[in-house]
Amino acid sequence: MSAPTTNRPATGAGDGLDVQAVAGRYPQVVAKLAAAEGITETDAAQRVIELVKYLTIATDCDQPVVPSRAVDVAWHTFILFTRDYAAFCTETFGRFVHHQPTEPGAGDPDAYPRTHALLADRFGPPDPRLWPAAGAGGDCQTEGNCKADCSGDCTGGS
C-alpha cells in the first residue's frame, strides 16, 4: 500500500498541483512504464505520481535532490514522450526540467537523505517501496549521481 498523498501548502513551483491526477493525464507513460518494468498499471501510476512529487521539490530547492531508482526509471520513461514531458514541465513549473546525470562518485552523498526529508515535509511520509531508506537502493541513492536541472532561472537541483 502506498503512503497517503497530502497536498500541503507549498511555496514554489507546482503550487496547487494535484499530483494524483497527473498519472491520469499521461496514460501512455503509465502503460509504457508498466510494460517495461513488468508491473501493474496501478503501480506504474504510483511511480509517475512520485516522480511529480520529486520534480516539484527539485524545482523548488536550492540544494541537489535525487530520485530513487524506481522514480528515476519513471522519469526516463516520461522523458521518452518528449512533447508531453516538455509541455508538462512548462505548464507545471514554468520551465523545462532536465535530467542531469553526474559522473559516478561526483554526486552529493547528502542529496538522497535531503530528498527524503523534503518529500516528507511537503507530501507526507514517502512510500518506502518507491523511496527506500538511504543506502538501500541504486546509484541515485547511494552516490547522488542523478539530479534535476532546470533551464532558465531555476535554483533547484543544480
Residue 141 domain-assigned? yes
- In this predicted structure, what is the pLDDT of residue 147? 59
Residue 158 domain-assigned? no
- In this predicted structure, what is the pLDDT of residue 53? 96
Residues 6+ apart with CB under 8 A from 63: 108, 111, 114
Number of structural domains in the chain: 1
Contact 45, 29 (CB under 8 A): no
Residue 2 domain-assigned? no
29 burial via Cβ count (<10 Å: 0-12, 13-18, 19+): buried
Residue 131 domain-assigned? yes
Residue 10 domain-assigned? no
Q: Vertex 47, ends 15 and 146: CA angle to 5°?
A: 80
- Give the Cα separation of 63 and 155 in Å (integer): 8
- In this predicted structure, what is the pLDDT of residue 39? 98
Residue 155 domain-assigned? no
- In this predicted structure, what is the pLDDT of residue 134? 76
Question: Which domain, by its residues, includes 130?
Answer: 19-150
Residue 59 domain-assigned? yes
Residue 143 domain-assigned? yes
E strand or H helix at 101, and its extent? strand 97-101
pLDDT (tens, 9 = 90+) of the chain, 158 residues, equals 222 233 333 344 455 678 888 889 999 999 999 999 999 999 999 999 999 999 999 999 888 999 999 999 999 999 999 999 999 999 999 999 999 887 887 788 899 999 999 999 999 999 999 999 876 554 454 444 455 654 443 333 33
CA dihedral 78, 80, 86, 88 (to 10 degrees): -20
